[in-house]
Chain A
Amino acid sequence: MNRAPSESILGVDIGTGGCKTLAVDSSGKIIAEATVPYPTMAPRPGWAEQDPDLVLEQVSRSIRQCAAELQGPPVALCLSGALHSFLPLDDTGRPLMNALTWADSRAATQAARLKGLPAAHALYDRTGCPLHPLYWLPKALWLRENRPDLLARTARIVSIKDYVVYHLTGEWLADQSIASGTGLLNLETLDWDDGALDAAELCRELLLPVMPITTDGGSIQERAVESTNLPRGTRVVLGACDAALSSLGAGAVGQGTFVAMIGSSGAVRTFSPRPLTDPRERTWCYVLDRHHYLVGGAINNAGLVLRWFADKVLDLHDPNPFELLTREAAEVQAGAEGLLFLPFLTGERSPGWNSRARGVLFGLSLHHGRAHFARAMLESVGLRLRSVLEAMEQVAGPAREIRVSGGFVNSPLWLQIVSDILGRSLFVPSTPNTSALGAALLGWHALGELPELQGAERLVGISSEVAPNPDRHDIYSRLFGLYEKLYRELQGSFEEISDFQEEFSPE
């Protein structure tokens, strides 16, 4: 089947910071794009929420803006959604509260309690999700213990992407990829896990039916026509989570191809042909389809570290502080002249899953300046990725090739630092918007245009390769040893400090 060149599918990526829509033809070429941001609110320390109706409005706007640039209407839409968002709805489908994002750690106590259960490791093995406050299991318990009034009125719990699908097509459907990021999905049966539901004290009726990612999610219905400006009947492919689609959009589908992502948070991921868990629970595993299981380790604190430094410490009032800070950091030698940063500003996920870890600037000396801080922060994220990569290779086998995605692909310095720290070449895909591209490619796959997901490898171009410098790799390897030791030695301090923060900090 040969499509006319103007025909396109919209890949709609409903991310944490905004919605990116790409119009992509069947050869993988990007024809048009649009980005619309939306905020995350932090009403209390450790809380992170989004207004689902605002997200919905901005997603529609993004679709509308992208479609407006096309000559003809798109053949279909396919959605990509951020993992882990948690949104309780009443029986009319109205939100009972804001959606809690992955960054919300209010369920830390519940997660810690669950971790102590004898069944904890078995739960991890079945669901692929370690017990951490970002998952639904502890969040559901938080709701039960803190807002029983809301839980009593809850008719459904959905992710933000499910909420968007419903408003586009009128269908309540969960894709198995986002569903497996809740911590409640059984990786073998690809249905909700009874043991996990019991632990979460949730009944199955509150959750949506779980469908494959290529499922026809219905078509644009009358009430979405106006907001999206798409013709009624435009087909919506259910889609998947942004993490897996980012790997697809980076062309990292084959065995041994890894993706290193640094955005606001960061991750190292690869696909496995079967479910894969770690006896030490350092990594997670989410299903994409029966042949592709995404194995990965995520870090909480990546780009957000620089953002915090620019906004909260330096008070720069600069909408894009990365340029200034990376320019300064480039003037400092590898190793930041002995300044080391542990970036745990919002606790740690992989590989240690310690939500009580805290940030550390170590080795400060009179000759250090702001540029050294910035350099140490960039390096800290690379050092974290190396920890995650080491765990990942033990779990999933060696990385043959590492592709990159996320905002850091726009920074040659940051790419070089990460390449030097990992001691590996990094391959930069031709588009930085890998999740939206992955969604569009999945759409073409669902329509039969791309028979195998593997085919994405051919369609996604590589724009550049960043090779490691052996001398700097040597320096970073020494630094890595010190950084791991620093983290170990401060474990006790982190416990005590977070206790102090809870006791003495105003809410």
Chain B
Amino acid sequence: MTDKRSPLILAIDLGTSSVRALLVDLQLNIVTQCAAGLKLDEPRDGWVQQEAEPVVQAAFAAIRGALDRRPDASGQVSGLCFSNAVSSLLPLDGQLKPLGPALTWADSRAFAEAAAVKEEHGGELYRRTGCPLHATYWLPKLLWTRRHAPELFSSAHLWVTLKDYVVLRLTGSLAIDASNAAATGLMNLERGVWDDLPLSLAGISPDQLPPIMPTTAILPRFTDAAAQELGLRPDLPLVLGAGDGVLSTLGTGVVRPGQSTTMIGSSGAARVVATGPGGRDRLCRTWSYPLADGLWVLGGAENSGGLVVEWVMSMIYRDIVGAASASAEAYAALMADAAQAGPGADGLLFLPYLFGERAPIWNEDARGAFIGLSARHTRAHLARAALEGTIYALYTVLEALEEQAGPIREVRVSGGYVRSPLWLQIQADLFGQRLLLPANFEGSALGAAILGQYALGQIDSLAAGAARVGTSGEIEPDPTAARAYREVVPLYKQAYANLTDLFSALRRIRNKTRAGGR
């Protein structure tokens, strides 16, 4: 039940495909919400960009929409707090106007620059910034821009994220929260300031970047124009907030060391909480972004999630998929078949790296493989192996995190895969660990609400907020299946280790055969 007197936080989730505004009360009930869609431009292979103005307009529309739906609650709104998709890069001119579209986190045009910098400075940069070198981060993106759009690069007065730009338009103030600053790959982890090594490599100066502030920092005033347009008090506090990876961790109730969260949507991720920054992983596999109060979120994102399973489905269930409308039926068939095959899919392995892999192997050349096919295998085994392969990929991320942050005692799950009991059971069995289902799957928005409540003094600690997330169910590992998976996991590791060099050889052949004929 919503408390009529409870202060409400307006949580703004700036995602890649939509902006959502949610009114959340102290008990983390969602009073109302409103979403506004966003367009992504993909003009070329690997380019994923977004114009800034539509993002601002969508944010305004979502906020207005949420407030309009509950005019009765407007008096209770106590502040705003942001969650956002990290690592977008937007150039601004001297008048603070965008010079072009923002390159989103998903933009991979700078892959060559990333590889080149990694080769030369990878280890040192990782120790300083805690970010593995990848095209998603700012240094490769800046290098790409300098090389391919030199005029834009030299005329850029400031470089910001899309969230910084929305905040700028709301308040007239320029600021980046420490979590987002870390997720640019340019921040020094230990000192919380822009690091001179990546900046000098990129060829920019610290005054071209926004000042770094805590995630709990409060900007005290809206511009009059924004306040008027949104129908908000100009002195309503705006809490800077943090990146969506960090806040969805908090929003699933994970706030203490030993707790972890795993997610599978289109892709997948695993995150843990630590009491200090990362950046110490010898293999440079995972990122670490600050939350608040000396807590850090360590995480790794991987590519091998729902998209991979959908691809397998479209491949082997084409009789059912046929028309796109039947895909729910095909999905159900895949799950039903997969449930028929035993743990380990009768010795069929599936490496799910259909489009290269990020954490923990960071191998762009990696590709998918079914290994161990025998004449008795059917589509049921292929379906099962596909699910198991995605869980194996997730497991390797958590394993890398565990090496840095200590043993994992609790796993909370989120993302589309929580709708599949089989998929979750495979995870519980393969991890050999109980899974907790959060009571509410609005992870990043709830995280923003908790952070906002804490910043505004409505709760005493982040842990107090996280405790209110609650759980709705548990999944226990099956001992027999877990025993089988203890044998399967080393088989996966061995297969990948044996194939690592071959993936590079395969890339050279792919390049060559593209020139070939029918």
Contacts and interface: CB of A to CB of B under 8 A. Distances in A.
Given A308-B375, A333-B516, A366-B355, A498 B347 contact: yes
Interface in A322-354: 330, 333-335, 337-338, 340, 344-346
Contacts of B346: 501, 504-505
A479 interface: yes
- Interface-central residue, A45, A364, A368, by most chain B CB under 10 Å: A364
B231 interface: no
B97 to A, nearest CB: 37
Given A362-B367, A493-B495, A314 B375 contact: no
Interface in B279-325: 307, 311, 314-316, 318-319
A446 B370 CA distance: 52
A406 B502 CA distance: 33
A338 B510 contact: yes
Contacts of B488: 500
A358 interface: yes
A203 interface: no
Given A312-B377, A335-B509, A363-B369, A504 B316 contact: no
Contact of A333 (B370, B382, B487, B513): B513
B512 interface: yes
Contact of B307 (A308, A313, A366, A475): A366
A478 B502 contact: no
B5 interface: no
Given A314-B316, A359-B372, A364-B354, A340 B506 contact: yes
A485 B367 contact: no
A92 interface: no
A339 B387 CA distance: 21
Interface in A484-507: 485-486, 489-490, 492-494, 496-498, 500-501, 503-506
B376 interface: yes
B373 A358 contact: yes
Given A364-B369, A498-B347, A346 B505 contact: no
B461 interface: no
A17 to B, nearest CB: 15
A482 interface: yes
A489 B499 contact: yes
Contacts of B491: 493, 496-497, 500
Interface in B479-497: 484, 487-488, 490-491, 494-495
A475 B502 contact: no
Contact of B494 (A469, A492, A503): A492
B315 A500 contact: no
Given A334-B516, A346-B375, A504 B509 contact: no
Contacts of B516: 333-335, 471-472, 475
B347 A500 contact: yes
A45 B376 contact: yes
B506 A497 contact: no
Contact of B355 (A314, A362, A365): A365
A315 interface: yes
B315 A493 contact: no
A501 B371 CA distance: 12
Contacts of A498: 347
A497 B372 contact: yes
A373 B484 CA distance: 29
A174 B506 CA distance: 50
A344 B375 CA distance: 9
| Chain A residues touching B, range | 35 or more
A360 interface: yes
Nearest to A335: B513
B315 A370 contact: yes
Contact of B368 (A45, A308, A364, A489): A364
Contact of B373 (A337, A345, A475, A500): A345
A486 B351 CA distance: 15
Contacts of B57: none
A482 B506 contact: yes
B354 A365 contact: yes
Contacts of A41: none
A345 B374 contact: yes
A45 B373 CA distance: 13
A117 interface: no
A339 B371 CA distance: 13
B323 to A, nearest CB: 16
B498 interface: yes
B254 to A, nearest CB: 31
Most A CB within 10 A of own CB, among B344, B371, B501, B514? B371
B43 interface: no
Given A333-B518, A497-B372, 15 more contacts: A315-B319, A333-B516, A338-B506, A359-B372, A366-B311, A478-B509, A485-B505, A489-B502, A497-B349, A500-B488, A501-B346, A501-B374, A504-B342, A504-B343, A504-B484
8 contacts: A314-B319, A358-B372, A366-B307, A369-B315, A472-B516, A479-B509, A504-B346, A504-B347
> Lowest 9 A-B CB distances belong to which pairs?
A359-B373, A364-B368, A501-B347, A335-B513, A338-B510, A497-B372, A361-B370, A345-B375, A489-B498
